[in-house]
Structure 1
Amino acid sequence: MAWKTLDDMDLDGKRVLVRVDINVPVEDGRVTDTTRIDRIVPTIEDILSKGGTPILLAHFGRPKGKVVPEMSLRVTLPALENALGHKMTFVERPDPAALKDLDHGSVVLIENTRFAPQEEANDPGMAKFLASLGDVYCNDAFSAAHRAHASTEGVAHLLPNCAGRLMQAELSALEQALSQPKRPVAAIVGGAKVSTKIELLENLVGKLDVLIIGGGMANTFLAAKGAQLGASLLEPDLIETANGIMAKADSTGCTIQLPVDGLVAREFKQGAGYETLKLGPDTVLEDDQMVLDAGPESVAAIAGAFENLQTLIWNGPLGAFEIPPFDTATVAAAKRAAELTRAGQLVSVAGGGDTVAALNAAGVADDFSYVSTAGGAFLEWMEGKTLPGVAALSG
C-alpha cells in the first residue's frame, strides 16, 4: 500500500494536524501508564525539527458527542509535557485565525474531538473545519484507524497527508508479518472465545503455514473433535464453526495446532490445586473440572513449531494468564519466542490488550520485533479488513 511518511513532506513553516492516540489510563487525575504518550514523541519531535508546528487531535474516553469535563484531554498535559520536555498550548475551542499566529516551536493540543457529535459521524463540515486548522495532515493513530471519523478519515482527504512515525512503524510491521511475510509464518491466537475471533481465524487459515490456538477458544476446537471438557469455558453453538475453520485449514495447507495437555482445576482462583491431564478427542473430564492453561507437552510442541518459523504473529494468551499458575504456558512460549527473536531467527509481531499485558508480565515485550498497542485496529487488520484511516492516507 502506498502511503507517504514525514520524510516525503515539506513541513517548514507549516501547521501539521497530527491525529494521535493518547487515550491513556487515568487515576485520581493522573496518567498511570504513559506508553501511548511515549510512542508519539518521535513524530512530534520530527515535525518540530522540520520547522513544522504540531497541532494534536485526539479523543479521550467515550463522551458520545457531549462535553464531559471528566473526559477533558487537559488531564494528559503534564504527562505530555514531561515526555516531550516541552511546554504545550491547550486549546478548548480552536480558532483557525489564532492557530495561524503560533510562535515557531509551539506544540498545541486541541480538546477531545469526541466532544463534538460530528466527529464520530464523520461529518464533512467537521472535517472541513479541522482542515482549516492546518496545512498538512499526519495520522499517527493506527489504533484509531479502524474508525471512519472526521479526525481519522474525513480530514485526510482535504489536506496533503502522511503517516506519522508510529503509524509508519505499525504498518511496516504488519505488512512484514502478514502481507509479505518470510515463511514459514505462524500465528498464536488465544483468548476466551471463538465468537470474538471468527473472522480472524477464517482469514488466517488462508494465509498461514501454522495456526496455534490456545486459551478458552481451544476448548471449543477440542470439543469439535469429540472432547468432553466438563466445566471448561467453551461455546457449544460454535462447534460447527470450529469444524468449518479446521476444514478450510485442511484445504489451504495450514496446520492447526491445539493443546495436547492442560492444567485442569476444579476452581478458578489464584493458587488453585490442579492436575496435568492429556487432551484430545477421547478426553472426558468430570462435570466440575475445567482446563485453565495449556500443559508442558503443549508448550514443548509450540516451542518446537517456533524452531521452524521465520515469522510469528501473536494475539491472545494461551490460558487464564491473569491468575498464577495458569500463566505458565503463555510465559514459557513468550520467552522462547523472545529468545529466537533476539537471536535473529524470528520476526515476531504481537498485539491486543491481553497480549501486551501477558508479554509485559513475562518481561519480554521489548524483545519482540514489534508490539502493537492498537487493539481493535490490530485485530481488524489481521481479519483482512480495510482500515478507513489507513486507506485515506493512500488515496
Structure 2
Amino acid sequence: MADFKRIDDADDLTGKTALVRVDFNVPMNDAGEVSDDTRLRSALGTVQSLSGRGAKVALLAHFGRPKGEVKPELSLRPVAAAFAKVLGAPVAFADDCVGEAASNAIASIQGGGVVLLENTRFKPGETKNNDDLADEMAKLGDIYVNDAFSAAHRAHVSTEGLARRLPAYAGRSMERELDALEKALGQPERPVLAVVGGAKVSSKIDLLKNLVSKVDALVIGGGMANTFLAARGHPVGKSLCEHDLADTCREIEANAKAAGCDIILPQDVVVAKEFAANAENRTCSIGEVADDEMILDAGPQTVGIVTIAMDAAKTLVWNGPLGAFEIEPFDKATVAAAKAAGERAKSGKLIAVAGGGDTVAALNHAGVADDFSFVSTAGGAFLEWMEGKALPGVEALKK
C-alpha cells in the first residue's frame, strides 16, 4: 500500500495548476457557518506544500448529498470563507467545478493562490465516474492530488477518474493515513491485536473474516460479542443478538483457529434489565445472564484479559466500542481498554491505529484519541480497508 506517488515526487510546479481533492464535507450551524474546522485544518499541509512551490491550488470537494442537482443550501461558498480563515490567506470561489466559471476563477489567481470550486456532486456524472465529466474537469489542471482518504472508497470523477487523466499524487493527509494503515495491517510489527466492537455481526462479517487471516489475536466486543457468546451456547437473555448468524460465528471461529488467530470474547459482563443511563446493573460471568437481563458492557475481568493481550502485542488495530459506551455506566470497559491502549502507544510500546465513527467518539470520550499512534476519521473508507477491499481512490495513486 505504501508504494504510491506523493507530492514530493512531482516535478517543478511553478505556475502549474494542481487539482486537489479534499474532504470539506464539514458540519454547519443554523447560521450557515462551519461549526467544526477539523477537516479544513487537515488540508493545510497539502495546500501549503503546493502553494509554497508556486502552484495554483484548485480545491475539489463534495458537500452533502445533492444527488446531481444544484442546491444552493449545499453550496461550498461559505466553506471558502471558513478555509480562508484557517489558511490565513485569500481563498477564491468558483460557481462551478468545470467549464468557464471554473477556468476563469483559476486564471484569476496567481501562482501560490487558492480557489475552491463548487460542489462536485452538483454534477450528475460525478458519482457515476462519467468519462465526459472527467475529461472536462481534467482540462482545468496539470496535476491531480488526492487528500481525501475518507472518499477513497468511492470511484467518482473527483476521486478516481481524474487520477487516470493527470499525473496523480497523494496529499499530506492521505499519505499519513496510508502510511499508518501500512504499519497496522500491511507490514505490521507482530504480534498484531485487533479490537472490533459494535452492535451487529451482520454489519462486520467481511471485516471479521478478513481480520482472522491477518492478525494474531482478535477481541470481539459490543453487541456483536453477544452473538458469538450465544453461538457458543452461553445465555444472553434479552440482549441484542443475531441468533440467525450462529453458524457464521462458528465459521469465523473455525477460520481463526485454522489461521492461528486467538479469538477473545468477554468472560464477564455487565447486565441490566433496561437500556437506560444509570440503570440498576450487576456484573456476572457469561454463564449467569438471566432471561430478563441484557448485556450492555464487558466486565473488569474481560478488560484485564484485553489489557494482557495488549501487553503481548506490538500493533493494535481498533474499530468499535466494547459496550454501550454512549450511556453511563456502560462505558467503563471501553474507557478502561482505550486508556490502556493509549498509555502503551504513548510510551512507544504499541503502535495503535483506530478508526470508524463510533471508535473516534469512544476514544474522544475516554480522552485518549491524541495518545494513539493514528486515529482515522474516515469511517466508510477505513472499514473497507479493514475488510481487505481495494479502494479505488488509493489504487489510482499507486506507482
Aligned to 1:86: 89
Q: Deviations over 1:229-253 (max 9, x none)?
A: 1110110111110000000000000
Deviation at 1:30, TM superposition (A): 2.1
**Structural RMSD (CA):** 1.1
Aligned to 2:74: 71
- Amino acid paired to 2:345: T
Distance in structure 2 (CA, Å) of the matches to 1:228 and 1:75: 54
Q: Deviations over 1:169-192 (max 9, x none)?
A: 000000110010000001000000
Deviation at 1:101, TM superposition (A): 4.4
1:217 paired to 2:220: no
Give the counterpart of 2:107 among 91, 97, 100: 100
Q: Secondary structure at the match of 1:188?
A: strand
Give the counterpart of 1:333 among 315, 332, 337: 337
Aligned to 1:8: 9
Distance in structure 2 (CA, Å) of the matches to 1:287 and 1:30: 50
Deviation at 1:288, TM superposition (A): 2.4
Aligned to 2:151: 144
- Amino acid paired to 2:151: A
1:264 paired to 2:271: yes
1:59 paired to 2:66: no
- Amino acid paired to 2:364: N
Q: Deviations over 1:341-361 (max 9, x none)?
A: 111110000000000011011
Aligned to 2:195: 188
**Percent identity between the two aligned chains:** 58
1:16·1:137 contact (CA, 8 Å) conserved in 2?
A: yes
1:296·1:329 contact (CA, 8 Å) conserved in 2?
A: yes
Q: Secondary structure at the match of 1:285?
A: coil
TM-score normalised according to structure 2 size? 0.96
> Any gaps of 5 or more consecutive residues in structure 2?
none
Distance in structure 2 (CA, Å) of the matches to 1:325 and 1:200: 28
Give the counterpart of 1:236 among 233, 243, 249: 243
After alignment, is 247-256 or 266-275 more displaced? 266-275
1:230·1:284 contact (CA, 8 Å) conserved in 2?
A: no
Within 5 Å, which residues of 2 pair with 1:185-334? 185-279=192-286, 283-334=287-338
Give the counterpart of 2:130 among 103, 118, 123: 123
TM-score normalised according to structure 1 size? 0.97
Deviation at 1:227, TM superposition (A): 1.2
> Any gaps of 5 or more consecutive residues in structure 1?
none
Q: Deviations over 1:54-109 (max 9, x none)?
A: 11000011111111122111232333122111121111124264223422332111
Q: Secondary structure at the match of 1:264?
A: strand
Distance in structure 2 (CA, Å) of the matches to 1:316 and 1:32: 25
Q: Deviations over 1:5-60 (max 9, x none)?
A: 11111222111000011111212112222221111111111111111111100001
Aligned to 2:372: 368
Q: Deviations over 1:251-283 (max 9, x none)?
A: 00000000111110111111111100111xxx2
2:81·2:91 contact (CA, 8 Å) conserved in 1?
A: no
- Amino acid paired to 2:188: P
Deviation at 1:287, TM superposition (A): 3.0
Deviation at 1:394, TM superposition (A): 1.5
Q: Deviations over 1:188-227 (max 9, x none)?
A: 0000000010000000000110000000000000000001
- Amino acid paired to 2:8: D
Give the counterpart of 1:353 among 354, 357, 369: 357
